[in-house]
Structure 1
Amino acid sequence: MKLKLAFAAATLALAAAHAHADNPKLRVAGSLVSGGMIQQHKEQPFFENFAKNTGLPLDAEYKPVDVLGVKDADGLRIIKSGLFDIVALRLAQVSRDEPFFLGPDLVGLSTDYDTARKVVDAYSEAFDKRLQERHGAKLLGTYPFGPQVLFCKGAVTGLADLKGKKVRVSDLSLAKFIEKLGGIPVTLAFGETQQALERGVADCAITGPSSANSAGWPEVTTHVMPIGFQIHLVAYAMNLKKWQALPADQQAKLAAAFKRYEADTWAYSRELWNDASRCNVGQQPCNGKRYALKEVPATAADRKVVRDALTSVSLPLWAEICDKSFDKCSATWKQALGPVIGLK
């Protein structure tokens, strides 16, 4: 019922905007405002100057999903419904409806930008096929928030120190990994995490350096461990009927525009990650807000624990869940990504 009410409210808002439109407009539900700089400095300008950026006789009616009052976890339902023409899908969140889409971001897999780029490229064909067949949408592109790292309130020297600590996580595979370390996973929305850290509901939390910097996590934590667990991906999907209604030349222009946008956002994400990593520990140059967290270097042993988590925790767990909803899930994953990561 809440989802239907949100759809209705968003429909009225967009209908009002269309009444004053000069050109046909695509209805776009973008990333969360709370997601930070990529939404503000890349996504919003791209869609607000859509005709110019794509060379198409189309504009975009763009709103971040949280401004629309729609939950990001409902992204696949929104795009399939036809209410929106393009939707930014946070893969960790929409994987509750489609586990296959978490495949390129399992714990221990895409732990750095270079690996993540190879993984996404190798997985995109299977991702797009599943998106079209099951959810009536076309994959346009992706971007990463960047390697997700550990922030703690109180001293830690390594992953072993998470034993007994309450750690904010964002998906099931990360929760199981924290459990294996002896920690207590706490599932919290990103916007609730700073207050949870401040009040002791969570002792530690995992996110990207830039997101943490924008949300003020370093104000309520003391230590950061720059070891990547996942990279957190966003994918842009277009309603398949809307895509198929475009002439072939317009499809080509739109695909080319998103390819440029994708390359731009991946590069910008890496710049933000590096800058925020410096800012959070008080180093220069820093274009964000400077803090004074204590950096805890990741040891080779801790990095191995994360790498091994792919085959010992996250892949078996995910495969079991995903194969129940899609019988070719894990086999497709291994065919696409096995050669990339050296897994038979």
Structure 2
Amino acid sequence: MSLIKRYLAPLALSSMVLAMPTTYAQNITIKVIGQPLATGNIQKNREQPFFEQLAAKTGLPITVEYKPMDTLGIKDTEQLRVMKTGLFDLVSLRFSQNSRDEPSLIGLDLVGGSPDYATSRKAADAWSPVLDARLQKQFGIKLLGHWPFGPQMLFCKKPITQLSDVKGMKVRVTDQIMAKFLESLGATPVPMGFSDVHQALSLGVVDCAVTGPSSANSASWTEIVTHQLPLGFQMGFNGYAISLKTWTRLKPDQQVKLQAAFTELTNDIWKYSEELYQDALRCNEGKDPCTTGKKFKVITSPVSPADIKLVGSVVDRLSFPAWAPVCDKTNPTCSADWKKAVGPILGVK
């Protein structure tokens, strides 16, 4: 071999190595939008520790930069738009709050469609593949899992003994379908982000607000309100979605590991959510055992069979008819897909 060839051969090999894709060998930084700190125990005890330990647990070549949403100055209604810009790689997505940008998010959580955790899980699991395909197409993000905060119920500054008592009251809501339901009861719905509710209740901007009992406790709504009505309208769904750009930077086996980690997390949150719901109801009343929140002196109003029946009739009578044309406007097959996937579970034909 000539002297020139002896020097050129290693250089050529080096050039080939440099020219090969290096994505898989490099560490990937994943910037995460987390749940607001104010939402409480699920964010604090499940979500944040999960992301802090994700790299070590999975062995993936990732560095996770996790920031709760209320420390970023991002509104919970802007998550999909922010993800579409590519500024973040993964989001703890608040479904109802982002439903104006993507109405199919409400398909997991129509008002009246979650009489219990088991039924809610079946309906959500049935709809999630359709939702995942939609999010990938419209926003370039892949759904990794979903979970509920738990039954979303009324908290009021005024006495409330039955649903009809909200007539004439101003009630904080998170989506248009809930707004239509409350309007049908004679209330005035007020769309509002979670972080603004405490002040709005204090100043009398709203008389009541809808959330789960654990979130109400964590955000100290329960130091202002006097009554809670433990009748769930929705489940307060959230989920995790990763940008397709970040997802495709992982090898197939790495994708499997990441998906498995999120499946384990969301399964755990489903169980934890139900535990928190029961404990928070007791904490809000000032009863024992109270292990996950602070004790307050909120009055729990009994739920009447008539109100249970009323909420149970809402999906077929109001929620689906109100949601279907909104979702079909942006996705023509939306309501038909929902009827096929979720309708049999909730008895909607």
Aligned match for 2:179, one of 175, 180, 192? 175
In the TM superposition, what is the alpha-carbon distance from 1:23 to its structure 2 partner?
Answer: 4.2
1:33 has 2:37 as partner: yes
- Tell me the distance in 2 between the aligned counterparts of 1:203 and 1:192: 14
Q: Which residue of 2 aligns with 1:256?
A: 260
Tell me if structure 1 keeps the 8 A contact 2:173–2:209.
Answer: yes
User: Which of 221, 233, 236 is the equivalent residue of 1:232?
Assistant: 236
TM-score (norm 2): 0.89
Taking only aligned residues, the RMSD between alpha carbons, in angstroms, comes to 1.4
Q: How does 1:90-239 map onto structure 2 within 5 Å?
A: 90-239=94-243
Q: Partner amino acid for 2:122?
A: K
* Deviation at residue 80 of structure 1 after TM alignment: 2.3
What does residue 332 of structure 1 align with?
337
Helix, strand or coil for the counterpart of 2:198? helix
Counterpart of 1:3 in structure 2 is none
Whether the 8 Å CA contact 1:49–1:59 is kept in 2: the answer is no
Q: Report the equivalent of 1:311.
A: 316
Q: For residues 249-288 of structure 1, give each alpha carbon's deviation from its aligned partner in whole angstroms, at most 9, with x where no partner exists.
A: 1011011111111111111111111110111112110021
Gaps of 5+ in 1: 1-21
Q: Distance in 2 between matches of 1:203 and 1:117?
A: 31
> Distance in 1 between the 2:155 and 2:73 partners?
29
Which of 85, 91, 94 is matched with 1:87 structurally? 91
Contact 2:75 2:193 in 1 (8 A): no
Alignment partner, residue 11 of structure 2 = none
CA contact (8 A) 1:79 1:237 kept: no
Mapped partners of 1:184, 1:120: distance in 2 = 29
Structure 2 segments unaligned to the other structure (5+ residues): 1-25
Q: 2:12: which partner in 1?
A: none
SS in 1 for 2:342: helix
Which amino acid is 1:176 matched to?
A: K
Give, in whole Å, the separation in 2 of the partners of 1:109 and 1:333.
Answer: 13
Measure, in 1, the Cα distance between the counterparts of 2:142 and 2:113. Answer: 25
Query: Which structure has the greater CA radius of gyration?
Result: 2
Contact 1:111/1:231 (8 A) holds in 2: no
Is the CA contact (8 Å cut-off) linking 1:28 and 1:63 kept in structure 2?
A: yes
Paired residue total: 323
**Cα drift, residue 161 of structure 1:** 1.1
Whole-angstrom distance in 1 between the partners of 2:317 and 2:329: 20
How far does the alpha carbon of each residue in 1:98-157 deviate from its partner, in whole angstroms, 9 at most, with x for none? 111111111111243222211111111111111112211111111211100111112121
State the SS of the aligned residue for 1:205: strand
The whole-number CA distance in structure 2 between the counterparts of 1:185 and 1:80 is: 29
2:48 to 23, 38, 44: 44
Query: Deviation above 6 Å: which 4+ runs of structure 1?
Result: none
Over the matched positions of the two proteins, sequence identity in percent amounts to: 53
Cα shift at 1:204: 1.5
Quick check: 1:112–1:146 contact (8 Å CA) kept in 2? no
Return the alpha-carbon distance in structure 1 between the equivalents of residues 184 and 198 of structure 2.
24
